[in-house]
Structure 1
Amino acid sequence: MADQLTIRETAAPAVGVRVPSANIYAPQWRNFVFVAPFLFFFTTLLIFPLFWGMWLSVHKADTFSTGRFVGLDNYVRLFHDKVFLQSVWNTFYFVLLTVPTLALIGLFLALCLNRRTRTAAVLRTLFFSSSVLSVTIVTLIWRIVYIPNVGLLSTIYGWFGATAPAFISDPSLAMIGIAIATIWWCIGLPMMLFLSALQQIPQDIYEAAALDNANRWQTLRSITLPSIKRTFILVIIIQIVLQFQLFGQAWLMTRGGPNNLTKPIVLYIYDTAFRRWDLGMGAAASEMLFVLILIAAMAQYLVTRNKGDQA
């Protein structure tokens, strides 16, 4: 009996002594299990290919072997290749055609359709529906539109006794034709991002502006545009990254022609690495594309942010 009392007294905590408890804010390594799948795919599908591409770009590599180390020879060959330089210009030209247009038209549609009506909801669905189509369907639709003499565009021009522009075969219009198809295809995402930003603006601000007799232009310039500045920057950066990766539209509509005037960098990479089997030079072109996207996106971000800070 005495032994049992002794055991109980030893096991029981003394009165007034605080028993240490587990810290709920302490890091727990088992939480790593929840992010492990993401880290695995992020590493294997992004990080590893990035460094593998850097390694290939400094080697003479083909499909069957990595070959020998050649240093910067692939980059030197790249900048002496007139087709690559033409593809760089084509890509920048395409980005200049599409990115500002997508941002401005997306903002215009968002401003027009920011209404709580059934008509606005139907139109939002209609404009966004093109974004869910695959690039194959989009190019098929626009090839039908651009068919000479019998296409939709030729039919409309024929009603007025005019000749439709040859957007696929004319060297000066081919890239513009691809840009028009791309804008039609991608306009849904900028519109929805701007709509989301517009709906986050408190209505009290607009009511106060109305009491001060502010017109629509003053409200747009002083309230709406400053409130969605960050969204505008986001849309520009997203579209720069996306449009620099032009491939499917150019490949399916023009095959990069005529005379390589619609061949973007990604299509050049495809031709070099998988049709000419020069993986080293293709990897070098891929790294140059990565650098160009990074520079363009960061430059746009810094310029827009500095303008916003000065304003």
Structure 2
Amino acid sequence: MTASSLKSRGSWTNALFVAPYLFVYLCLLIYPLIAGMGLSLFKADLFGGGTFVGFENFARLFRDEVFLQSVANTFYFVALTVPPLTVLPLFLALLLNRTTRVAAFFRGVFFSSSVLSVTIVTLVWRMILMSEGGLASNITALFGAEAIAFLSDPKIVMISMAIITVWWCLGLPMMLYLSALQQVPKDIYEAAELDNASWWRTLWSITLPSVSRTIILVAIFECVLQFQLFGQPQLITQGGPNGASRPIVLFIFEIGFRRWDVGYAAAASQILFAIILIATLVQYFVTTRRSRSEALAQPKVRGNA
């Protein structure tokens, strides 16, 4: 048997190992994506069949005030959650990047919220934030103040959703940062210490450039994740009051599974997919370009800052 035939046989053998994953990937991701794009061009319901309407569903969406409100709500929520979920975990990781028992205990405490289901998280926070009988209202009553309508005031309901989400999602990015910090060679810190570099100078010149890729990863991951907000408003406010907490995914759910207009819901899903894709690409290119320019302009670590 020739070398070329052996190489070809080895390639087919390797392909057999990858085939199960590719099959599942095509069935669960690629096919639904393509099918959803096709469905968005039809006026159809859950009972099958449909009429081809072209881009009429998309035109209806841009005239739909409820959909436009859900888009604004989603962008507002992302702006409220992604920066804290990028910065706060890094701050916690810097504090807890030690080999002490106290640091290990607090790592477990902060990560524990991430393993809770959305049902448990929303149940706990509903009991805290509800206007009548909630923990927050009882605390304000002790000081003679009026209870804050965290869940029924249109101006602050999305802020409440953001607080719940930041508390819930803080643990995973913190662990990613901890993993990245522990990969930084100790020799670099020892050299900076010998050069009498301050903690602040070490942070900006060594630590942050070393974990810059992880910062980009966390920012992109959280951006994609928070654009898909659904469980918190669905279980706590049902999108209210007056649609002030209805995100795009909840709009898609209501249109598809309550009004049974799956073609219209599929069109909204394609718009959400495009928004996430554009936001992720923009964030990736801007962040990577900035990190590269800062790395090129960064001076060597010498002397006190």
Percentage identity across paired residues of the two chains: 60
Contact kept, 8 Å, 2:130 with 2:150, in 1: the verdict is no
The one-letter code matched in structure 2 to 1:81 is: D
Q: Distance in 2 between matches of 1:129 and 1:33?
A: 39
The one-letter code matched in structure 2 to 1:180 is: I
Q: Report the alpha carbon displacement of residue 133 of structure 1 after superposing the two structures with TM.
A: 0.6
Q: 2:210 aligns with which of 227, 237, 258?
A: 227
Q: Which runs of 5+ in 2 are unaligned?
A: 295-305
Q: Which residue of 2 aligns with 1:177?
A: 160
Q: Report the alpha carbon displacement of residue 69 of structure 1 after superposing the two structures with TM.
A: 1.1
Q: 1:261 aligns with which of 222, 226, 244?
A: 244
Q: 1:137 aligns with which of 120, 132, 143?
A: 120
Q: Which residue of 1 aligns with 2:303?
A: none
The one-letter code matched in structure 2 to 1:197 is: A
Q: Report the alpha carbon displacement of residue 67 of structure 1 after superposing the two structures with TM.
A: 1.2
Q: Distance in 2 between matches of 1:222 and 1:265?
A: 40
Indicate whether 1:86 and 2:65 are aligned.
Answer: no
Q: Which residue of 2 aligns with 1:202?
A: 185
Q: Distance in 2 between matches of 1:161 and 1:152?
A: 14
Contact kept, 8 Å, 1:56 with 1:66, in 2: the verdict is no
Q: Which residue of 2 aligns with 1:30?
A: 13
TM-score (norm 2): 0.92
Q: Which residue of 1 aligns with 2:201?
A: 218
The one-letter code matched in structure 2 to 1:36 is: A
TM-score (norm 1): 0.91
Contact kept, 8 Å, 2:46 with 2:262, in 1: the verdict is yes
The one-letter code matched in structure 2 to 1:148 is: S
Q: Which residue of 1 aligns with 2:109?
A: 126
Q: 1:249 aligns with which of 232, 235, 238?
A: 232
Q: After TM superposition, where is structure 1 displaced by more than 4 Å over at least 4 residues in a row?
A: 19-26
Q: Distance in 1 between matches of 2:187 and 2:273?
A: 44
C-alpha change, 1:216 and 1:160, in structure 2 (3 Å) is farther
C-alpha change, 1:299 and 1:25, in structure 2 (3 Å) is same
Of 142-151 and 24-33, deviating more is: 24-33
The one-letter code matched in structure 1 to 2:207 is: T
Q: Distance in 1 between matches of 2:182 and 2:6?
A: 38
CA displacement, residues 278-299 of structure 1 (integer Å, 9 cap, x when unaligned): 1111000000000000000110
CA displacement, residues 216-239 of structure 1 (integer Å, 9 cap, x when unaligned): 111111110111111000000000
The one-letter code matched in structure 2 to 1:186 is: C
Q: Which residue of 1 aligns with 2:175?
A: 192
Q: Which residue of 1 aligns with 2:263?
A: 280
What SS is found at the alignment partner of 1:28?
Answer: helix
Indicate whether 1:303 and 2:286 are aligned.
Answer: yes
Q: Which residue of 2 aligns with 1:270?
A: 253
Indicate whether 1:110 and 2:129 are aligned.
Answer: no
Q: Distance in 2 between matches of 1:308 and 1:200?
A: 19
For residues 141-156 of structure 1, the aligned pairs below 5 Å read 141-156=124-139
Q: Which runs of 5+ in 1 are unaligned?
A: 1-18
What SS is found at the alignment partner of 2:269?
Answer: helix
C-alpha change, 1:213 and 1:175, in structure 2 (3 Å) is same
Q: Report the alpha carbon displacement of residue 306 of structure 1 after superposing the two structures with TM.
A: 1.1
C-alpha change, 1:149 and 1:259, in structure 2 (3 Å) is closer
Q: Distance in 2 between matches of 1:260 and 1:108?
A: 34
CA displacement, residues 95-147 of structure 1 (integer Å, 9 cap, x when unaligned): 00000011111111100100000111111011101111110000000001112
Q: Distance in 2 between matches of 1:30 and 1:220?
A: 48
Query: Between Structure 1 and Structure 2, whose CA radius of gyration is higher?
Result: 1
Q: Distance in 2 between matches of 1:262 and 1:162?
A: 26
What SS is found at the alignment partner of 2:99?
Answer: coil
